Structure 1
Amino acid sequence: MVSGKIIERNAEGDKFWIAEENLASLTGNEPAAGLVYNRLLPMFSQHYKQAIKMAKETTDEKMPEEKHIEQSHGHEHGHQHGHGHGHHHGGHGDNHAEAYPLMELLSKTTYKKHLIPDFLPLLGLREKLENGGMEVLDVGCGTGFHICEFAREFPKCSFTGIDISENAIKRANEVAKEMNLNNVKFEVISGEKMPDEWTKKYNWVFSWNSIHDHKHPKVAINEISRVVAADGRYTMLEINKPGNPNDYGTSPMSTFWAVAGIFTVLTVRRAPEVFKWTNAAAIEMLKESGFSNVQTVKTPFFDFNVLFVCTK
């Protein structure tokens, strides 16, 4: 807690105290993110033996075909692994429903403070959202934290969240009800296969730490390009991975999630594409899908993320 700047100590190390502004980190409904990250360790470690088994079974970078399960963070990835990352992505596997309360909490502690005042201005959409009438889609919405915050801020617009997990969508509906929102709805739909009638429907599509965790990220991006209106916008917040696939970024959290992926991506989702994800690969997929203008925007308040703002 000293390293995490929650409590302070004197030079001798025999006296400790906490500043009044940090009390909420320990006693509030949204504790310090570092405390939540530590609570993820038991969840990841339960897959230790399975991770070893998978490593022994895997040859030539090919994964076994049986029992494919897709899952998102949300960052919570619901997305929720989020890197919930999470934040938290294509959808959390329902066999990990017990992780949702924790991933939802992690997303709030990591993103809520900056979501509207700092992140929203980077999108260039506030005026249009305030005017109303926009159709907005969250791909890999997890338990719905992010989209519900936007729906509350812009009551004149219509919001839809999709995730592959029934458990995540059930919780997302609860969140919307708790916030008394009537302009947001949720559906159990994969980001890799959205309804045909959604072609060019949405003025704004966004994803939150979710695309890199899809089993087939390129397929998901192609689908997103299809459902974005001709004059619409896609904003993709993702893990910041500059350089080659072996570069896990510059922040401690980037390293944390890289290691966590061994226990979740391989053993649960069996989707090794996440380990090939880089900023350059993301830009290439976005442009190949039809987004001619892709801007990379830094998010210093989310130190292990990068934002891609995309238009056609």
Structure 2
Amino acid sequence: MSSKEPSETSEEFAARVGAILANGFASLGIALGHEVGLFDILSDMKEPKSSQEIADAGNFKERYVREWLGAMVTARIVELDSTGENYFLPPNRSPALTHNGKLSDGVVMSSLIPTFGGNVFGQVKACFKKDGPRGVSFDAYCASYEVVGRMTENYLEKNPIASLLSKYPDLTKRLDKGISVVDIGCGHGLTTTELAKAYPNSTFCGVDLDEVSIQDAKDKAAGLNLTNTEFIVADDTKLPADWTNKFEFAILFETLHDQAYPDKAIGEVYRILASDGVCLVVEPTSFSKVKDNRDKLEGIHVFYMASLMFCMPTSLYSEGGMGLGAVWGWEKATELITAAGFKVCTVVQDLKTVYQHFYCMKK
């Protein structure tokens, strides 16, 4: 036991746990309202409306809408007018709840919670047993992956990757002039296409193991009329043999911790970079010790749970998977990147955007 025991009583602790659980149910309601568009409907209404009027505006069944409104009113998310019969969303709450809200990162993340229910929850539960499965197949997370894609898109809209690169002027000068870039674990091509637009003189290659994501990335690039991108399906632990020393810049945006074999993946990145190549690894901000995360990072439990339900089981599913998890911390990340042969020149922990980045060069 710690030499310093928590000061709260058993009753106070039970009340705190109860509040956490109650907020968990409220999160489901927030996710549902966001997904079906009820918050957008309420935000667009100029005056309080009845449950029937709100239902009609979205072509919904009134009974379901009324029950949802009851949950949101009692959770102090939606308000009632003086009659107690009509509902409204205060204007100051819209930015955090609507699809186009400037403060909606949290509500987008709430949509991840329902995807962990049912089959996924049961599979992760089974993994706890010593004789249970190693992990959970990525195929079980189709709905989760779609939400993660939206979360990434939402983040990049407010924090363009080009702005992140502006911290490294030597790199941006090279990108302006024209270099070859590889985006490892590119997913739907969000970072790849953004950089391709920002730096038309450079060429960009997005790599991902998921065929559907690669096709989405190709479609996105075509829709933007980009001519300096290509996307290929490949295992980033076994990249093409003829890629040795091919690229001058590699970016890994929130992908390294998800890998079953991140040591092999970063080793391949080292191989395919030219002698003067640089690498930027972007990961969730965290420390490698639980105590540091508890004391220094507010709300980090969200990342622990997302990692437990998604990142870690998919990594451990593969034989010998490392299962780093999303909260592996900058210390372990630096150790793994350095072991691959890189010199970590800069580590920036951005508490505002919840990401830390590692700017690396070949030794």
Q: So what's the TM-score if we normalise by structure 2? A: 0.67
1:40 paired to 2:85? no
- Distance in 2, matches of 1:51 and 1:102, equals 19
Residue 30 of structure 1: how far off its partner (Å): 8.1
Q: What is the correspondence of 1:62-73 to structure 2 with a 5 Å cutoff?
A: 64=134, 69=137
- Distance in 2, matches of 1:272 and 1:38, equals 27
Mapped contact 1:200–1:226 kept (Cα < 8 A) = yes
Partner of 1:131: 177
Deviates more, 1:36-45 or 1:116-125: 116-125
Mapped contact 1:205–1:235 kept (Cα < 8 A) = yes
> What is the aligned counterpart of 1:51 among 109, 124, 144?
124
Alpha-carbon spacing, 1:104–1:265, altered in 2? closer, same or farther (3 Å): closer
Residue 51 of structure 1: how far off its partner (Å): 1.3
Alpha-carbon spacing, 1:267–1:310, altered in 2? closer, same or farther (3 Å): closer
> What is the aligned counterpart of 1:208 among 253, 263, 268?
253
Residue 214 of structure 1: how far off its partner (Å): 0.4
1:306 paired to 2:352? no
- Distance in 1, matches of 2:299 and 2:211, equals 28
Q: Secondary structure at the match of 2:182?
A: strand
Residue 301 of structure 1: how far off its partner (Å): 4.0
Deviates more, 1:95-104 or 1:145-154: 95-104
- Distance in 2, matches of 1:252 and 1:135, equals 38
Letter in structure 2 aligned against 1:129: L
Mapped contact 2:95–2:103 kept (Cα < 8 A) = no
Partner of 1:258: 304
Q: So what's the TM-score if we normalise by structure 1? A: 0.77
Letter in structure 1 aligned against 2:276: D
Partner of 2:64: none
1:112 paired to 2:157? yes
Q: What is the correspondence of 1:3-18 to structure 2 with a 5 Å cutoff?
A: 17-18=90-91
- Distance in 2, matches of 1:96 and 1:48, equals 11
- Distance in 2, matches of 1:243 and 1:262, equals 15
Alpha-carbon spacing, 1:265–1:108, altered in 2? closer, same or farther (3 Å): closer
Letter in structure 2 aligned against 1:166: E
Question: What's the % identity of the aligned pairs?
Answer: 24
Residue 243 of structure 1: how far off its partner (Å): 3.7
Q: Secondary structure at the match of 1:146?
A: helix
Q: Secondary structure at the match of 1:233?
A: strand
- Distance in 2, matches of 1:268 and 1:30, equals 31
- Distance in 2, matches of 1:252 and 1:213, equals 23
Greater RCO between the two (CA within 8 Å, min separation 6)? 1
Residue 127 of structure 1: how far off its partner (Å): 1.4
Give deviations 1:217-249, integer Å, cap 9, x for gaps: 111111111111100100000122224267557
Alpha-carbon spacing, 1:282–1:97, altered in 2? closer, same or farther (3 Å): same
Q: What is the correspondence of 1:160-239 to structure 2 with a 5 Å cutoff?
A: 160-239=205-284
Give deviations 1:262-281, integer Å, cap 9, x for gaps: 22245444245214822112
Letter in structure 1 aligned against 2:177: N
Alpha-carbon spacing, 1:116–1:238, altered in 2? closer, same or farther (3 Å): closer
Partner of 1:286: 337
Q: Secondary structure at the match of 1:56?
A: coil
Mapped contact 2:258–2:312 kept (Cα < 8 A) = no
Larger Rg: 2
Mapped contact 1:287–1:294 kept (Cα < 8 A) = no
Q: Judging by fraction of residues, say which structure has more helix.
A: 2
Aligned length: 275
Mapped contact 1:51–1:263 kept (Cα < 8 A) = yes
Partner of 1:72: none
1:297 paired to 2:348? yes
Letter in structure 1 aligned against 2:328: W
Alpha-carbon spacing, 1:117–1:19, altered in 2? closer, same or farther (3 Å): farther
Mapped contact 2:337–2:344 kept (Cα < 8 A) = no
Partner of 1:79: none
Q: Secondary structure at the match of 2:226?
A: coil
Residue 117 of structure 1: how far off its partner (Å): 5.9
1:96 paired to 2:141? yes
Residue 261 of structure 1: how far off its partner (Å): 2.0
Letter in structure 2 aligned against 1:54: C
> What is the aligned counterpart of 2:324 among 261, 274, 295?
274
Residue 294 of structure 1: how far off its partner (Å): 3.1
Mapped contact 2:287–2:328 kept (Cα < 8 A) = no
Gaps of 5+ in 2: 1-26, 31-38, 44-75, 82-88
- Distance in 1, matches of 2:328 and 2:96, equals 36
